[in-house]
Structure 1
Amino acid sequence: MALSASLFLRQSQSLVMTPQLMQSIQLLQMTHLELVQFIAQEVEKNPLLDFQPNDEPLGAGDLPATGPEPEAASAPESTEGPDSDWYERSDGQLSDSLDANFGTAFSDDAALPKVDAPDLLGQWKSMPGGLSDGMDDYDLDDFVAARPSLRDHLLQQLPFAVTAAHDRMIALSLIDQIDETGYLRADMPELAERIGATVMDLERVLTLLQGFDPPGVFARDLGECLAIQLRQRDRLDPAMAALVKNLDLLARRDFATLKRLCGVDEEDLLDMLAEIRTLDPRPGGAFETGPTETIVADIFVRPSADGWAVELNPETLPRVLVNNAYYAEVQKHGRREEGEQAFLSECLQNANWLTRSLDQRARTIMKVASEIVRQQEAFLHHGVDHLRPLNLKTVADAIKMHESTVSRVTSNKYMLTPRGLFELKYFFSVSIGSAEGGDSHSAEAVRHRIRMLIAQESPDNILSDDDIVESLRSGGVDLARRTVAKYREAMNIPSSVQRRREKRALARSSA
């Protein structure tokens, strides 16, 4: 068979990960703050983007839709090739690939659940004691007095305890080395050399500072922190001193060795442990060191006449609009240089892409959240004991998306329910078999049962791991002893022997 060169035409389709597609995928897993920062950057560099105010929670039927492009800009020719208009193609293979790797196509509105979305913000404002119409910009936080910091609190005590100028200079240097928990984080020889003092002078001034309020401040480790507090209570006897010097044994709950080192019997050791529990291991923790960051829910879930209403929180859903009027106005003003036209076309293309991506992000979050609510309806009605086993594949198959898309959506997103605020990943749990051959149990529900069983123990009736296995089996959960031990250790719950000693100590201290 003779070899010869020939020319033929072949048509094929492929999905290419363009920068815009990668950006859309990254938008899915962004938190609220990350999304706001990203949009602010885009608005700053793109003159065709404008913020759209968010006024009310969004249901699935209220998701923002991207507006039509102006006639003058209906077909700006892109220089990027076929990748720039991938979202407008409907030739089958590309759309299927996008569904599998990113989410449902932008035009697929029929699959969205229709959810009632009342004006919750309006209801809150109209409630007695709520915000009035003229007080939307009124923030009570602007009138709250700032709490003193730990450093300010220590500086207020300094003039009464340290009078010599040299000692006060040392004291100020030591105060500057205090961390937010009240511990002294400084190398004494290095600090002494830096300020031109001796280590003996630093130790002498440090002894004075360790008498400051709050008790335990200026300690260099946990043992010294507890010792300072015990000394101020006049309770640092030799037995207590031996106990605080061997906190590693206390952490391992090696009470037999502690009794021998402290020279006390079991009853005295229990009394000492009860007193240790009353001390503060973080003496500076009561002072404000910075603003408290609260978690803002991305999804609201509330009971409704038809079951459960799922709504998107507008505060976590910043929306932008393409300023088509501005683009059309710029187009009217004569001819422009080739670079200006390319820049304007690129801005329009990026703006349209971003609005579509944000719209798709909102729809995808809504679909995933609605399916989670449908799967975990028993949890919403009855609590964590009825949390069903659930994995990413189950949700992905139900909403016809890829598992990676569901994983990105559930990352760092929170849902506010009548049961509390939960991360979306909380609702995903492995399956544990049933003892009677019925429905499987969620691992989180089983862990909750173990916690409840141990919380109901009395000092005279402590459950061993075998007892917990039997109790779970009687409740329909088939679990091995080693699995119970693994769950217990993961929840930082000590063994039955250690719990018996601790509960006796607690009972004695409360008595």
Structure 2
Amino acid sequence: MLQLTPRPGPRMTQGLRQAIGILALPGADLAARLALEAAGNPALRLLPPELPGWRRPLADPDGISAPQGSLIGHVLGQIGLLRLDARGGALALALAERLEPTGWLGASTAEVARACGVPEAEVEAVLVQLQRCEPSGIFARSLAECLRLQAAARDQLDEAVAGVLNHLPLLGTGDLAALSRATGLPGDRIARAARIIRGLDPKPGLAFDGPVLPPVPPDLRITRQGAAWQAQPHPAAPRAELTERPGDPRAARMLVEALRHRRDLALRIGAVLADRQADYLAGGPYLAAVTTQELAGLAGAHVATVNRILRAITAETPRGTLPLRALTSARAGRDAAPVQRIKARLAQMLAEAGARRPSDAALAARLEREGLAISRRTVAKYRHELAGRD
């Protein structure tokens, strides 16, 4: 009888796992991950940006600053009063970076945990401490949680208030009788709870000044150098290096290597896109067709790796700061041509036709002959959009 002996496949080493994780992190999450690692490992040091005017990660101790009177400035002061170790402090600052102007947390604890590479329970524990900061209600993840935190801080979170908060949509209708039935509590207690809740602030962050954090720097900068377009690392992108200080040099080295691998791959893919999209970058009306498979071949990388880079990496270009994904064709197969290119050609064809008004099917057939495969229904949709634009 034929016996199959299992053969071990390639091992997912810690370094490889970390490199793959780093590839998938957008700029803000990468900065948070680096800051967290540096906070717990003296063998790793974050390097300051080479260009002023861009946000440094809040968890970089040398980069903590915010205008007085701002929400983030106030929160940084509050975090300084908490008894957090270096790791907890870095997580607190990663959470602070995700505060919305309302004071609510703009990301889930699961998302922050993934970005920082830590268990979600660790993020949850830090969040509990942050939710004790003033004004009460900040770092809430929902309206009900925001109001519950405030009621608890005012010592007003009794059974009736908690019950009404569990049925907020009913409170919005003003139907106190329905609330009484839903909670099983008498009407007078429900009415009192409703008055308490209506006296709370659903958006405590708005008491502070508006947005204060500078933008997160892109990873690449695509510029024209003579007749060619080139991709270079953005001078404000996150960087790190090894130090001589005691710590975990092996972990620090793996992280620096993963960061270098991410940068090199981003540069290779960015260079291909800069070359292929030269006309668009120079102000042309549409993108050239380029697929993920083509990019993988030209950049010498696996398709899955290219997809991670396209999702995570942004580039400063003459057309604005764009995710690299925006410089590729969004579809493959029948709708492989970029939308911008199809719309530009369709607009030109309609202008040339004038009052003749060719049918959608005729336009689709003509576009297909020109290598722009598209369905009749999509032609009708784009035609309607173009008419509305005029």
TM-score (norm 2): 0.52
Question: Quick check: 2:230–2:275 contact (8 Å CA) kept in 1?
Answer: no
Match of 1:321?
241
- Flag the 1:36–1:431 CA change in 2: closer, same or farther, 3 A: closer
Unaligned runs of 5+ in 1: 1-12, 57-120, 125-135, 150-172, 210-283, 328-343, 434-439
Question: Quick check: 2:67–2:212 contact (8 Å CA) kept in 1?
Answer: no
**Structure 2 residue 213 is matched with structure 1 residue 297:** no
**Structure 2 residue 291 is matched with structure 1 residue 375:** no
- Flag the 1:352–1:370 CA change in 2: closer, same or farther, 3 A: same
Distance 1:405 1:148 in 2: 37
Question: Quick check: 1:454–1:463 contact (8 Å CA) kept in 2?
Answer: no
- Flag the 1:388–1:350 CA change in 2: closer, same or farther, 3 A: same
Question: Quick check: 1:383–1:419 contact (8 Å CA) kept in 2?
Answer: no
Partner of 1:301: helix, strand, or coil? strand
Match of 1:22?
17
Write the deviation string for residues 62-103 of structure 1: whole angstroms up to 9, x where unpaired: xxxxxxxxxxxxxxxxxxxxxxxxxxxxxxxxxxxxxxxxxx
Equivalences for residues 73-92 of structure 1 within 5 A: none
Distance 2:337 2:264 in 1: 28
Distance 1:25 1:142 in 2: 40
**Structure 2 residue 186 is matched with structure 1 residue 191:** no
Write the deviation string for residues 7-31 of structure 1: whole angstroms up to 9, x where unpaired: xxxxxx9842212211111111111
Partner of 2:240: helix, strand, or coil? strand
Distance 1:468 1:359 in 2: 48
**Structure 2 residue 285 is matched with structure 1 residue 404:** no
Question: Quick check: 2:337–2:372 contact (8 Å CA) kept in 1?
Answer: no
**Structure 2 residue 265 is matched with structure 1 residue 364:** yes
TM-score (norm 1): 0.41
Match of 2:343?
448
Distance 2:68 2:337 in 1: 42
**Structure 2 residue 42 is matched with structure 1 residue 54:** no
Equivalences for residues 82-231 of structure 1 within 5 A: 121=52, 184=172, 189-193=177-181, 196-197=186-187
Distance 2:345 2:216 in 1: 28
TM-aligned CA deviation for residue 428 of structure 1: 2.3
Partner of 1:364: helix, strand, or coil? helix
Match of 1:425?
325
Write the deviation string for residues 293-322 of structure 1: whole angstroms up to 9, x where unpaired: 96753222222325224232344x322222
Partner of 2:224: helix, strand, or coil? strand
Question: Quick check: 1:302–1:309 contact (8 Å CA) kept in 2?
Answer: yes
TM-aligned CA deviation for residue 382 of structure 1: 4.2
Amino acid at match of 2:30: L
Amino acid at match of 2:23: L
Match of 2:228?
307
Partner of 1:388: helix, strand, or coil? coil
TM-aligned CA deviation for residue 455 of structure 1: 10
**Structure 2 residue 274 is matched with structure 1 residue 353:** no
Amino acid at match of 1:396: A
- Flag the 1:443–1:292 CA change in 2: closer, same or farther, 3 A: farther
- Flag the 1:413–1:292 CA change in 2: closer, same or farther, 3 A: farther
Distance 2:362 2:348 in 1: 10
TM-aligned CA deviation for residue 371 of structure 1: 1.3
- What is the aligned-residue RMSD (CA, Å)? 5.4
Partner of 2:229: helix, strand, or coil? strand
- Flag the 1:38–1:139 CA change in 2: closer, same or farther, 3 A: closer
- Flag the 1:470–1:32 CA change in 2: closer, same or farther, 3 A: same
Question: Quick check: 2:176–2:187 contact (8 Å CA) kept in 1?
Answer: no
Partner of 2:312: helix, strand, or coil? coil
Distance 1:466 1:292 in 2: 52
Question: Quick check: 1:380–1:417 contact (8 Å CA) kept in 2?
Answer: yes
**Structure 2 residue 21 is matched with structure 1 residue 33:** no
Amino acid at match of 1:45: G
Partner of 1:442: helix, strand, or coil? coil
Amino acid at match of 1:355: V
TM-aligned CA deviation for residue 462 of structure 1: 7.5
Distance 1:305 1:142 in 2: 46
Match of 2:108?
none
TM-aligned CA deviation for residue 394 of structure 1: 1.9
Report percent identity of matched pairs.
18
Distance 1:397 1:432 in 2: 18
Amino acid at match of 1:366: L
Partner of 2:221: helix, strand, or coil? strand
TM-aligned CA deviation for residue 406 of structure 1: 1.4
Distance 2:342 2:175 in 1: 44
TM-aligned CA deviation for residue 400 of structure 1: 2.0
Distance 1:21 1:148 in 2: 39
- Flag the 1:378–1:29 CA change in 2: closer, same or farther, 3 A: same
TM-aligned CA deviation for residue 292 of structure 1: 9.5
State the number of aligned residues. Answer: 272
Amino acid at match of 1:49: L
**Structure 2 residue 315 is matched with structure 1 residue 415:** yes
Partner of 2:290: helix, strand, or coil? coil
Unaligned runs of 5+ in 2: 1-7, 55-62, 72-100, 104-163
Distance 1:27 1:302 in 2: 25
Q: Which has the larger radius of gyration?
A: 1
TM-aligned CA deviation for residue 46 of structure 1: 1.9
Question: Quick check: 1:441–1:477 contact (8 Å CA) kept in 2?
Answer: no
TM-aligned CA deviation for residue 48 of structure 1: 1.7
Distance 1:188 1:487 in 2: 52
**Structure 2 residue 364 is matched with structure 1 residue 469:** yes
Question: Quick check: 2:291–2:328 contact (8 Å CA) kept in 1?
Answer: yes
Write the deviation string for residues 403-442 of structure 1: whole angstroms up to 9, x where unpaired: 2221221113222221233221122224689xxxxxx982
Question: Quick check: 1:55–1:314 contact (8 Å CA) kept in 2?
Answer: yes
